[in-house]
Amino acid sequence: MVTIVWASVLWILVFILLPLERIKILWPVAVVSFIWMFALNYTFIQLGYYQFTKYILVVGGVPVLVPIGGAAGGILLINWIQRSAWFKIVLVLVFSGILNLATTVFMWFDAFKMLHGFNHFLHFVVNVAGISILVWLSLALVDNEKIYNDKDKTRFIR
Amino acid sequence: MLHLIWAGVVWLIVLTLIPIQRIKQLWLIGVISFVWLFIVNFIFIQLGYFKFYNAFLPIGGVPLFHLIGGAGGGILLMNWMQRNNLYKIVLIFFFSGLLSLSALVHIYYGAMVHSASFTHLE
């Protein structure tokens, strides 16, 4: 149930906030976010650092709806990215914090368990590293001019 | 002793491979690397994830020469940085691997100890 809410909320946010044209530009980011989030989760689950305990459809221990939600999260992240290196650091830290917050909610609902000394601090560090790599991958895949210079990035916020 | 060797080797590579003019351009990266390496090491040491031993001049548990070596490492990293984002990922992975390898050598010679829950993956 939590994984359905996670994926739905993120994709609803994407479709409400981003114009369709912008989503079309950023679709490769969704694909790479899905694959990268699956790979990271799969690695950490297999190494015994954490596990998902409530899910609908699971592949290698990773509930499919988690990377599906992550794909939308990746689009939101890259949608607001800017050229400034400082801005990139702040954005990566904010999105890592949001992921930690989401994990806390998952834990409240007993859908996620940290194991063998893994904790919120290490999770945050992993999030920062993972999201940084996602930013570079996305910037390598999508035309940077389109990412940075599009005037219609967000429907309601200018 | 090992921290001295670490700093000596890294700075020898910097001074051998990089022209002085280039080092002058990148000196600020040396400072940032020193500070950032200190912050990261200090936090992880305080949280009990690892510990340095046989340190000469430790600051908050972080050996001074470990940071001096890290400053040289930062200059080497940024010296070969390129605009291409995929290249950035490869370079970061490569330098992360080198740091893990260096930690392994430190552990091997008893200059560093990881806690039970901290592994080379982190």
- Is B100's pLDDT higher than 80? yes
Tokens, residue B65 = 């020469």
Tell me the pTM. Answer: 0.86
Predicted pLDDT of residue A122 = 92
Q: Does B88 touch chain A (CB under 8 A)?
A: yes
Q: Does A116 touch chain B (CB under 8 A)?
A: yes
Predicted pLDDT of residue A2 = 87
For residue B54, give the DSSP letter.
S
Predicted pLDDT of residue B116 = 67
Tokens, residue A63 = 């509930």
For chains A and B, CB pairs below 8 A equal 25
Q: Which residues pair with B59 in a beta bridge?
A: B62
Residues of A in contact with B88 (CB under 8 A): 136
Tokens, residue A97 = 């914090």
What does the mean pLDDT of chain A come to? 92
- The band of B122, judged by pLDDT with boundaries at 50, 70 and 90, is low
Mean pLDDT of B52-56: 83
Residues of B in contact with A126 (CB under 8 A): 122
The Cα A119–Cα A121 span in angstroms is 6
Task: Judge: B85–A116 Cβ closer than 8 Å, yes or no.
Answer: no
Structure ipTM:
0.79
Angle between helices B85-108 and B64-79 (to 10 degrees): 150
Task: Judge: B118–A117 Cβ closer than 8 Å, yes or no.
Answer: yes
Nearest to A137 among B47, B89, B117 (CB): B89
Q: CA dist A140 to A10, A41, A143, B81, B96, Å? A: 24, 22, 8, 15, 20
- Indicate the range of A92-96, B86-90, B111-115 predicted with least confidence: B111-115
The Cα A93–Cα A130 span in angstroms is 11
- Model confidence pLDDT, tens digit, residues A98-142: 999 999 999 999 999 999 888 999 999 999 999 999 999 999 999
The Cα A30–Cα A129 span in angstroms is 18
Nearest to A136 among B89, B115, B116 (CB): B89
For residue B112, give the DSSP letter.
E
Q: Does B84 touch chain A (CB under 8 A)?
A: yes
Among candidate residues A60, A43, A63, the one with its CA nearest the CA of residue A112: A63
